[in-house]
Amino acid sequence: MSSLSEMSPFTLVLTLAAFILSAIYLLWPYQIFKKMGVPGPTPFPLVGTFHHYLKGFREFDAESFRKYGRVWGIYDGRVPVLMVTDTNMLKQILVKDCLESFTNRRKFGLSGPIKDVLLIAEDEHWKRIRNVLTPAFSGGKIKQMCPLIQRCAEVLVQNLHEPCQLEQPVDLKDEKFGSGILDHLEFEGEGFGEIVKQKVFPHDPVPKALKYIFLCEFSPLFAVILFFPFLISPLERLGVTLFDKKAIHFFHKIVQQMKNKRQKGLNDMQGRVDFLQQMVNAQLSENTSNGNEDLTDGELESQAVLFLMAGYDNTSTSITFLAYCLACNPDVQTKVQQEIDTILPDGKLPDYETLKQMEYLDMVVCETLRMYSSSSRTDRVCKKTTVVNDLVIPKGVVVTVPLWVLHYDPQYWDEPHEFRPERFTKEAKEARDPYCYLPFGHGPRNCIGMRFALMSVKIAVCRILQRYSFQTCSETTIPPQFNKNTFLQLEKPLKVKVVARKEADTVS
Annotated binding site for heme: 447
Instruction: Give me the half-sphere count of Cα atoms (radius 13 Å) on the Cβ side of residue 322.
Output: 29
Q: Is 202 helix (H, G, I), strand (E, B) or coil?
A: coil
Contact of 464 with 156, CB cutoff 8 Å? yes
Distance CA(499)–CA(466), nearest Å, equals: 11
Question: Across the strands, what pairs with 76?
Answer: 48, 79
Q: Is 389 helix (H, G, I), strand (E, B) or coil?
A: coil
Q: Which DSSP string do the residues of 395-412 spell out, in sequence order?
A: TTPEEEEEHHHHHT-TTT
Residue 337 main-chain phi, psi, to 5 deg: -65, -35
Closest alpha carbon to 439 in 361, 368, 380: 368
Closest alpha carbon to 440 in 71, 94, 97, 207: 94
Question: Across the strands, what pairs with 402?
Answer: 377
Distance CA(64)–CA(71), nearest Å, equals: 9
Which residues make up each annotated binding site?
Answer: 447
Specify the long-range contacts of residues 454-457, CB closer than 8 Å, at least 24 apart.
454/365, 455/142, 455/146, 455/149, 455/352, 455/355, 456/149, 456/152, 456/182, 456/185, 456/311, 456/315, 457/315, 457/318, 457/319, 457/322, 457/365
Closest alpha carbon to 283 in 112, 128, 449, 115: 128
